Structures are given as C-alpha cells and as structure tokens.
Amino acid sequence: MAFDERAFFTEKQETRPGRYQCPKCRRTNEYSIRWARHSKKDRLPGGANEEDRAKFAKLRDYLLRLDDEVVCKTCGKKFEIPSQHSLMFVDQLAGLPNEEDLEREISAAAGEAEPEPERKPALPARFTRKSSGWK
C-alpha cells in the first residue's frame, strides 16, 4: 500500500495567533493565522503491511500553516510570513513558554526590577459620590 496521508491522519483547520513584524513600517502586531492540524488516527487502516506499521509507529501530530501572507494592521501593506515556521509538531509546541513568562524571566536574569503595574489616578468626587436622583 502506497503512503496515503489521509489514511493515517485526520485534518482539521484552526486559527492561532502569531506576532509578526511588518518589513515596511517595522511595527509588530498580532495576526490570526490559519493552520491545518493533522492528528494521527488511533489505528492503522485496513490492508496495511509491515512497512506501513513501522511508518505509523513513528508518525506525530503536526500543524501546517495555510496562510503565507498577511496584511499589516498599521500601514496596510501585504507581507510574507517567514517560512521557517510553516510546519510545527504539536508535541514541540506544547512545551514552549508564553511570552509574558519569557519576558519576566529575561528581565529577572538581567537584574532589572519588575515594572510596577500602571496605577490609574483616583476618580474625582463628582463621579464617586452616590447620586441623589434627578433634580
């Protein structure tokens, strides 16, 4: 039996966020990117030989990027997404830290104090006192 990917994987489309920098205006924005998730089926298809069994044992779930270009949210120019992340294995993706944790860890390693959250100024009394109704 020749290797037919549809016999070994189920395909489902999903959308994931990605941060990319526009080459024209140099601004970084968050974009929603379409991916195809290929999940390994739970059992071999019928009529599989010994070679297919060996291949099936080594298969892993993966994501394949469907979008090659995005439109910059700032300047409106269409630009190409870097191709080094067009295919990602799901098991490698699960171990990646999120960006906030990574930034916190980098600033701690650099010896920088963690920035205090921005405090909003107190509201004037005219907004906080209880209303007496319409006059």
pLDDT tens digit sequence for 60-102 = 888 888 888 899 988 888 988 887 778 888 777 666 666 677 7
Cα–Cα distance for residue pair 63/54, rounded to 1 Å: 22
Does residue 129 lie in a domain region? no
- The pLDDT of residue 23 is above 80: yes
Cα–Cα distance for residue pair 81/61, rounded to 1 Å: 22
Non-local CB neighbours of 88 within 8 Å, separated by 6+ positions: 62, 63
- The pLDDT of residue 134 is above 70: no
CA 41 distance to own-chain centroid: 23
Residues spanned by the domain of 93: 5-97
Residue 45: Cβ within 10 Å count: 13
- The pLDDT of residue 1 is above 60: no
pTM: 0.58
Does residue 130 lie in a domain region? no
Does residue 70 lie in a domain region? yes
